[in-house]
Amino acid sequence: MTSYHHPHHAGGSGTPVTATVQDVLARAMSPDGAVQKEAERTIRVEIDRNPGVMIGAFMHLLGMPTTPTEIRGFCCVLLRRNLPIGEPMVLNRLSESLQGELKSELLRLLASETAPHIRNLLCDTIAELAQITLYRNEWPQLLPALEQMTLQPLDTLREAALNVIGKLGDALPDVQNENLGSLVALFARGLGDPSLAVRNAALNAVSSTFSHVDETQIKKFTGLRVAVLTVVRDNLVARGDSASVAVSSLVAMATRSSAFFRDDLQAVVHLISQVTGDLENFEEDVKQLSLELGVTIIEGIPNAARRCAPLLEVVLSLALSLMVAFDEEEDTWQHPAKAWEASEDAGFGAGESAFDRVARSVGGKKVTPVVFNLVSAALNAQASWKSRFSGLMALTQACEVISPQKLPDMVSLVLRCFTDESAFVQFSAINCIGQMCTDFGPKIQTDFHLHILPALLSCMDESRHPRVQAHAAAAVINFAEHCSSEILQQHADALVSKLYNLLRRPQRIIQEQAMTAIASVAECISVSFAKFYEHFVPLLKYAIANAHGPDNAMFRGRALECITFIGMAVGNDRFAPDAREVMEATVKIVQAGGFASDDPSYSYMVQAWTRICTALGSSFAPYLSVTVPTVLRSAQLQCVLGRIDDDEDETDDKQIFEIGNEQYGISTNQLEEKSLGCSALGSFVATMKQEFYPYLKPCVETLVPLLKFDFEENIRQAASTALPDLLYCAIAAHKAGMCDMGPAQELAALTVKSLLEGLAREEDILVLAGFVHAIQLCFDKAAELAATLFPMDVVKAVRDRLIKLIEQSEGRARAAAARRANHGDAYSDDEDEEERRASEKEADEQLQYMLAECFGSMIKALGAHFLPVFNESLPVLVQMLEPQSGPVPRKMAIFIFDDFVEKMAAQAGPYLPTLFPMVARYVSDRDSDIRQAVAYGIALCAQLAGDGFKPFCAAATQSLIALIQDPQARQAANRRATDNAVAALGKILRYQGDQVDAAQLLPAWLSMLPLRDDVLESAVCTSLLCDFVEGNDTRLLGADFGNLPKIVHVLLDVVHTKLTNPELDARIVPIIKQLPPGLMAQIVVGLPDKLQSKAAAI
């Protein structure tokens, strides 16, 4: 085919042309692949060469009644596919007259078409053409023409018109807004049409339009809501093929705006009840879509859902029904390699997910009774094993939000199923207990260890069911994660013995879980694991050395993890010789060809290297030549961002990003490996210090750019965490004579510059906190070299950025307060919203803490060199301390003041007249954190500022006494601030005693001891008490040593407890011992039995 002559019009003769085109189309549909491929190439070439001829020919064939149906359908498809492609697109290459004929002919054909298949294809073609013309107002006739069709007597024509509108989607937002009133009226007629097919087309059109209109336009659809729900009900009653499409339309609307259905939740409950009441007669997709409808509405309007218990009940009942209906026979559990996985059953997965989503949305208060009723019924002895299994799996999903007060009931309910006759049920019970150990730790470990661990040990004996044994070992991992060493040591012998036996079983699934459980136990009980060391390490070394090939990769990885956790637990001296053997084995693996890209043992090996590096210290240096290049390659991994096609289903292994209207994905495996590489580099350099110097340059070149790696915050965090240690590596190398100061100076400049740039662009608050912490550590690591490494312009840049971050944090706090004020009580019971706010507040508090620490480290590192910067910052600091300043800047300013006094000592004295009165006025602030910081600052001034504090002593003392004597001083939220005030009063008496009435105040201060809430300040006060006693201060001891019984009481109360430390205990014991035996005997008589025993022991 070489050329075509343009037909006179779309419906004209042109017989030779159309006959030739028809022949090519027929060959493009040939079953012969070669013929088909050549014909398709010809079509593409000719469309590009002669678009008008080809489009005209397609239209001519489409309009000829004698054209075979399959050719007519193919013409529709080719028009739809080709009109929008190319640059310029094919449509724009047609003459204006042909474009007009094309549009009018398509509408004419739609109005006259009798074949349903061709009519549907025409709807698709018209919608595609509309997508590229209406937004430029190049087809103004379309919507009026479609509206006229909806008024025609033929229901097929009314349905077709609504189908076209339903396919327009988001292509016409402006047009839809302009014509929304008439469209809504059109929809109302369609939703009330006598024909169900027309009503369904109207429902789809409503859903499509609703999903894309502007938020402000949604209220215009309110009048359609009842009709929309009615059409869905009609479809459920009819139980036809269109039911799933109808429910899907409703899901799309709920996704766009769940609030739209707020006033008709009972109708939604009725719809879902229609499905739950007749599950056997509905297709699986209808059931799953009905569940998704309920869950989407609950997630979107959790407050309203909490007030509608029937909605929660019907949704979770449907969820559990879908779970129970999974298709599997119990005997598959006997075969671990073939065992059923929940993820393989779509209905089960949807049900599980629903329990999790609903629980997280509405919170424990409302979901607890619903879940407990459903699960209790499911676990009834007469219920099927599938019901019991599904009930436990449902509880596992929801238990995270259930009140801890329900813990005894839950534990009892679940442990009862450990002895169930079904292996499936045993597995799910173990799974549930494991999740509860994670969600309710450490309370559940403390309260129920005597019940849970024996039950798990019993399940490890289930030799008929390897998966049950393996899962019991896995639950030990969850248990140990939040368990105290003291509790786990009570069970260690029995637990380790069982795990040792499991390790010797032949099934890999059991061995692997046993190894991870052993590692968890070792990590928890630490050095107490030493007595088991020789039982496990030889076995694990053998496994590592002999587990070859891809089939053994996970086994080898778990063995590496286990042996290194054991090594960390027992200590370097015991582990070092074996650690070297393990390293030699891993080096051989790398040198033999490394790892496949999907080798699961790689991450285990890298993490094992970091633990062995910690164990060996500088002795790890010979292995750096293998380990560093390996993990460096991971850190340098190029994570490719690729567009995700609409029809791409497999996205589970990708992290998804939205850029404009497109979705893009990056492999999560690549991101995880890259993050692992960055973390490992940071761990190596932190341990090896100057030994790492030969690898410094490539690591810096790799990690610094990753501060701007937008696709994964963990990678940015890992890069920032490593930078201070890389700087110290250069400093340590200089001190060791390996290089001059040049590398350290260059790296200091690059590090701080890069971190400041990162702070300017970063949006994640926790990552911001990490970057600030990295800057702080740079100053800490530099120490006495800070003034050399960080010129004043750099220090000022850091200061300016920190102050900017304080202002931004205050802005977020003000915005949050405004939101709370605007909402009033509307969201008072919204647990999800409260959790989000609490999370944001916690992140900001962490950032504020890091900001204060960073200022403190700068002051400490720079010392007197910081004074010019501080002088320049004084006006800003004063402004932050003004009453009109917000609580965040005020708190930060007080923290900075405290650090300045602590680090500068007497040099801070000249600044006190300006700053101290501004700080001290907040000693009675409503924020207990601020009161605590002020009290701590007063203590520092008293101890360190010398004569500069004398003018403020009397007033500060009175304000501290007022804080201590406040009626609410000992309430839980105020105790730490009060303890700091007591410590500050003690320091005034100790270091500025000549400025106050110490003789009167010291006995009063003694009566406040010991402190019990702030452990650090308690030790400070006890140390001060020892100072007074050792100095034989009669103002404290009292006339005739009258205060001695109280002093002895305080000292005996705190000695050898968490309220002291070894150094302080070493001072207390001689004080007690030096008292005359007779006097001591008189004092001890009046003490509690516990303190008398302590006195006797001393």
Determine the Cα–Cα distance for residues 1030 and 1007; give it in Å rounded to an integer. 19
Task: Name the pLDDT band for 3 (thresholds 50, 70, 90).
Answer: very low
Locate 544 and state its tokens: 């590592």
Cβ-based neighbours of 169, under 8 Å, separated by 6 or more: 131, 208, 211, 212
What pLDDT does residue 826 have? 46
Q: How far apart are CA 399 and CA 391, in angstroms?
A: 12
Distance of alpha carbon 984 from alpha carbon 1007, whole angstroms: 15
95-111: pLDDT as tens digits: 999 999 999 999 999 99
Q: How far apart are CA 922 and CA 978, in angstroms?
A: 14
Residue 176 predicted with pLDDT over 70: no
CB 571 within 8 A of CB 641: no
* pTM (two decimals): 0.77
Alpha-carbon span 744 to 785, nearest angstrom: 10
pLDDT in tens, 765-799: 999 999 999 999 999 999 889 999 999 999 999 99
Q: Residue 455: what pLDDT?
A: 97
Q: ω into residue 724 within 30 of 0, thus cis?
A: no
Mean pLDDT (whole number) for 287-302: 95
Where is average pLDDT lowest: 252-261, 468-477, 500-509, 659-668? 659-668
Q: Please name the residue that has the structure tokens 């009133």.
A: 181
Structural domain spans, the chain:
257-328+343-396, 1000-1098
Distance from CA of residue 1082 to its chain's centroid? Answer: 61
Per residue in 995-1034, pLDDT tens? Answer: 999 999 999 999 999 999 999 999 999 999 999 999 999 9
Kindly give, in sequence order, each residue whose CB lies less than 8 Å from that of residue 516, ignoring residues fewer than 6 positions away. Answer: 473, 474, 477, 558, 561, 562
Whether the CB-CB separation of 975 and 1013 falls below 8 Å is answered with: yes
Tokens of 16: 């030779």
Residue type, 143: L
Show Cβ contacts of residue 700 under 8 Å, excluding neighbours closer than 6 positions. Answer: 726, 747, 750
Spatial contact of 396 and 431, defined as CB atoms under 8 Å apart: yes
How many CA within 13 A on the CB side of residue 1068?
A: 27
Q: How far apart are CA 529 and CA 527, in angstroms?
A: 5
Residues contacting 901, CB < 8 A, separation 6+: 908, 937, 940, 941, 944, 945
CA-to-CA separations, 768 to 708, 717, 728, 775, 802, in angstroms, rounded = 12, 9, 22, 11, 11
Rounding to the nearest 10 degrees, give the CA dihedral for residues 612, 616, 618, 620: -50
pLDDT value of position 331? 62
Cα distance between residue 469 and residue 510, in whole Å = 7
- Concatenating the DSSP letter of every residue in 636-670 gives T-----EEPPTT----TTEEEEEETTEEEEEEHHH
Q: Which residue has the higher pLDDT, 140 or 981?
A: 981
- Cα-Cα-Cα-Cα torsion 755, 759, 762, 768, nearest 10 degrees, comes to 90
Please report the pLDDT score of residue 449 as a whole number: 96
In tens, the pLDDT along 250-264 reads 999 999 999 999 999
> pLDDT digit string (tens) for 862-887?
999 999 999 999 999 999 999 988 88
Q: CA–CA separation, 601 vs 555, rounded Å?
A: 8
Q: State residue 1084's pLDDT score.
A: 85
Measured distance CA(753)–CA(923) in Å, rounded: 38
677, containing H or E segment: helix 668-688
What one-character-per-residue DSSP string does 305-373 give? HHT-HHHHHHHHHHHHHHHHT----GGGGG-GGG---GGG-HHHHHHHHHHHHHHHHH-HHHHHHHHHH
pLDDT digits (tens, 9 = 90+) for 194-218: 999 999 999 999 999 898 888 888 8
Mean pLDDT in the chain? 90
pLDDT in tens, 798-832: 999 999 999 898 888 888 888 777 765 444 445 55
* pLDDT tens digits, 1027-1053: 999 999 999 998 888 899 999 999 999
Q: Would you say the C-alpha torsion 585, 590, 593, 598 has a positive or negative sign? A: positive
Strands 662-667 and 642-643, bridge-based pairing: antiparallel
Shortest CA distance to 758 belongs to which of 743, 774, 745, 746? 774
Verify cis geometry, omega within 30 degrees of 0, for the bond prior to 88: yes
What the block records as the tokens of 1030 is 């050792």
pLDDT on residue 988: 97
| pLDDT value of position 736 | 93
User: From CA 743, how far away is CA 690, in angstroms rounded?
Assistant: 12
Residue carrying the six token digits 């891809």: 550
What's at 70, amino acid-wise?
E
Structure tokens at 87: 């640059």
Q: What percent of the chain has pLDDT over 70?
A: 93
Element of type H or E holding 667: strand 662-667
DSSP 739: S
587 C-beta neighbours (distance < 10 Å), count? 17
954-977: per-residue pLDDT in tens? Answer: 999 999 999 999 999 999 999 999
Cβ(608)–Cβ(544) below 8 Å: no
Mean pLDDT, range 135-160, rounded to an integer: 90
Tell me the mean pLDDT in the region 851-870: 93
Q: Is the pLDDT of residue 323 over 90?
A: yes
Note the pLDDT of residue 825: 47
Cα(735)–Cα(741) distance, integer angstroms: 9
Determine the 3-state secondary structure of 663 from DSSP.
Answer: strand
- Given a contact cutoff of 8 angstroms between Cβ atoms, the answer to whether 36 and 27 are in contact is yes
Task: Output the six-digit token pair for 157.
Answer: 């024509």
With a cut of 70, say whether residue 683 has pLDDT above it: yes
In three-state secondary structure terms, 549 is coil
As a whole number of angstroms, the distance between CA 363 and CA 302 comes to: 9
β-pair type (662-667, 654-659): antiparallel
* Residue 639 pLDDT: 79
The per-residue pLDDT for 12 is 41
CA–CA gap between residue 1037 and residue 1048 (Å, rounded): 11
Q: What is the mean pLDDT of residues 7-30?
A: 70
Per-residue model confidence (pLDDT) at position 203: 96
